[in-house]
């Protein structure tokens, strides 16, 4: 008998069927990946299973017994816990304090017994093979260890079913392996792990079985063995997705658009040409985003100078944007979108002057232009007034691309442009970047996905310790060569 089973599970929202008669089953002692494009229904399914939202119809059963959850607390009591990709731990508290937050151990006079919490946390961490010290402040931990704190908090509820939502979104390769080791321990102890991820390579590494959702329906459940990445992509998108090869080298004679002086080891300037895509590759923490922030005027531009079309870039973001350089943030939820506002308002937020006259917005023109650009990006939204916060990650990213396009950039810096988006949306973003480069926009693309860097970049800059150590032509490069260069392990590649 499956540990977890749903029958005809359905969830309707106004005008949308987010889940349609889903029959899903998963066993104890397995890692069961749930995949699908943005908007496929996997997040809705996980929120129903964890008690965050209630189904419109259908049933959920644990160990063959039908359950109804009115809240996440009720789901936790039944052994279902969810760990979201956004951290909820409190940095000023210890690991033990965070694990038992809201369920503190009480001593005399109802005071908090931190010593008892520390002992209990130590036992819990040892039992599940989690290498954390219970009395360490969470704020002093790295990203991977903070992720493990979130995991330990869920396990403290004696979870039998653990839902992990994009758990490696901000982790390095080494940190991912640390997390995977813990997940394997949990599986060996008989837990069911429901694993949500857009990264196909992770799914093939950690999952035992894979369920695929599309348009609110469960379309397939497969054993990992025998499943290929191309078949998985086809199940997720309903179509074949082409493989990618590096772009052809740019021809000679193109003028320099962006000049960076003092950033490359050795002192030579970095010249980005008209229509060039320069990829930034490096390990997590290498300083790629810091360099992007400094170019864009978000941080002091210490140690190097930047020029667009021969003119020195100003030192504040507004004037940098006016000079023709646009930065797209890696953290769209925190720094990119205005969640309650509609997609049209979000798309035009950086170009309101184009649609203003005597201090008043020309609303019809704003909506017409925004609508045209968003249609070109194949945005999926009920209307231009749909709050952007209600859209999938891929569609939110398309609106941010629309914002960048409406700002008419000469130079576009894209920081992790496909983070948290599905395979189909990723292909559309790739097509957009190639089209912009073909139209003459100069692009710096930062990505932790080395295959993505190789597929899109004319040249690749290697970043270590906040500096560019080499700029290489993307000819004959592969993922191994980039890892060697990024780690400083040595290479016989010539800098270009």
Round to whole Å and give the CA distance between 239 and 427. 12
Which of 202, 456, 463 has its CA nearest to residue 477? 456
pLDDT at 495: 40
pLDDT at 265: 87
Q: Which residues contact 250 (CB under 8 A, 6 or more apart)?
A: 273, 275, 276, 458
Three-state secondary structure string covering the chain: CCCEEEEEEEEEECCEEEEEEEEEEECCCEEEEEEECCCCCHHHHHHHHCCCCCCCEEEEEECCEEECCCCHHHHHHCCEEEECCCCCCCCCCEHHHHHCCCCCCECHHHCECHHHHHHHHHHHHHHCCCCCCCCCEHHHCCHHHHHHHHHHHHHCCCCCEEEEECCCCCCCHHHHHHHHHHHHHHHHCCCEEEEECCCHHHHHHHCCEEEEEECCEEEEEEECCCCCHHHHHHHHHCCCCCCCCCCCCCCCCCCEEEEEECCECCCCCEEEECCCEEEEECCCCCCHHHHHHHHCCCCCCCCCEEEECCEECCCCHHHHHHCCEEEECCCHHHHHCCCCCEHHHHHCCCCHHHHEECCEECHHHHHHHHHHHHHHCCCCCCCCCCEHHHCCHHHHHHHHHHHHHHCCCCEEEEECCCCCCCHHHHHHHHHHHHHHHHCCCEEEEECCCHHHHHHHCCEEEEEECCEEEEEEECCCCCHHHHHHHHHCCCCCCCCC
Residues forming beta bridges with residue 195, ordered by sequence position: 33, 164
Which of 41, 51, 36 has its CA nearest to residue 12? 41
Whether the CB-CB separation of 389 and 337 falls below 8 Å is answered with: yes
pLDDT at 236: 82
pLDDT at 287: 87
pLDDT at 38: 67
Tokens standing for residue 41: 């229904």
Whether the CB-CB separation of 310 and 295 falls below 8 Å is answered with: no
Sketch out the chain's domains with CATH numbers: 4-237 (3.40.50.300), 256-487 (3.40.50.300)
pLDDT at 345: 93
Q: What's the pTM?
A: 0.63
Tokens standing for residue 289: 């985003």
pLDDT at 488: 66
pLDDT at 472: 92
Q: Is 261 exposed, middle or buried (0-12, 13-18, 19+ CB in 10 A)?
A: middle
pLDDT at 243: 61
pLDDT at 496: 39
Q: Along the chain (496 residues), what's the average pLDDT of each consecutive run of 10 residues? A: 95 88 96 85 92 95 95 92 84 93 78 88 90 92 85 88 85 79 92 89 92 93 89 80 70 88 90 95 83 92 90 91 91 85 92 85 89 86 88 85 90 88 79 91 91 91 90 85 72 40
């Amino acid at each position: 008998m499956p540990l977890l089973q749903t029958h005809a599970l359905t969830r309707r929202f106004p005008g949308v069927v987010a889940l349609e008669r889903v029959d899903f089953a998963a066993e104890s002692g397995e890692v069961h990946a749930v995949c699908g494009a943005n908007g496929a229904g996997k997040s809705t399914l996980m929120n129903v299973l964890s008690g965050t939202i209630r189904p419109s119809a259908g049933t959920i059963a644990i160990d063959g017994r039908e359950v109804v959850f009115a809240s996440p607390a009720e789901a936790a009591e039944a052994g279902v816990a969810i760990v979201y990709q956004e951290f909820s731990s409190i940095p000023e508290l210890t690991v033990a304090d965070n694990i038992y937050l809201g369920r503190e151990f009480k001593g005399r006079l109802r005071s908090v017994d931190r010593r008892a919490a520390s002992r209990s946390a130590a036992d819990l961490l040892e039992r599940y093979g989690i290498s954390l010290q219970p009395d360490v402040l969470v704020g002093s931990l790295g990203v991977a260890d903070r992720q493990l704190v979130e995991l330990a908090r869920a396990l403290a509820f004696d979870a039998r079913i653990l839902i992990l939502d994009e758990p490696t979104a901000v982790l390095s390769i080494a940190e991912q392996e640390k997390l995977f080791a813990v997940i394997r321990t949990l599986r060996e102890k008989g837990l069911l792990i429901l694993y949500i991820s857009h990264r196909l390579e992770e799914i093939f590494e950690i999952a035992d079985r894979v369920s695929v959702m599309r348009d609110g329906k469960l379309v397939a459940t497969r054993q990992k063995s025998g499943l290929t990445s191309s078949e998985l992509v086809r199940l997720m998108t309903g179509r074949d997705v082409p493989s990618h090869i590096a772009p052809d080298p740019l021809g000679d004679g193109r003028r320099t658009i962006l000049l960076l002086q003092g950033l490359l080891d050795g002192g030579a300037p970095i010249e980005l040409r008209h229509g060039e895509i320069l990829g930034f590759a490096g390990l997590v923490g290498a300083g790629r985003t810091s360099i992007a922030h400094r170019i864009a005027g978000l941080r002091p531009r210490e140690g190097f100078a930047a020029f667009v079309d021969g003119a020195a870039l100003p030192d504040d973001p507004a004037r940098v944007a006016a000079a023709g350089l646009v930065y797209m943030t890696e953290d769209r939820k925190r720094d990119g979108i205005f969640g309650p506002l509609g997609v049209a308002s979000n798309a035009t937020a950086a170009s309101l002057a184009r649609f203003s006259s005597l201090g008043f917005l020309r609303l019809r023109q704003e909506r017409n232009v925004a609508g045209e650009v968003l249609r070109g990006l194949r945005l999926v939204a009920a209307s231009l007034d749909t709050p952007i916060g209600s859209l999938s990650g891929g569609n939110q990213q398309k609106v941010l691309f629309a914002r960048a396009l409406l700002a008419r950039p000469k130079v576009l810096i894209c920081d992790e442009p496909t983070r948290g988006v599905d395979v189909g949306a990723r292909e559309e973003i790739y097509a957009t970047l190639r089209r912009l480069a073909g139209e003459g926009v100069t692009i710096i693309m930062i990505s932790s996905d080395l295959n993505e860097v190789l597929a899109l970049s004319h040249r690749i800059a290697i970043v270590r310790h906040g500096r560019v150590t080499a700029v290489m032509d993307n000819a004959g490069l592969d993922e191994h060569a980039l890892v060697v260069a990024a780690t400083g392990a040595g290479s016989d590649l010539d800098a270009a």
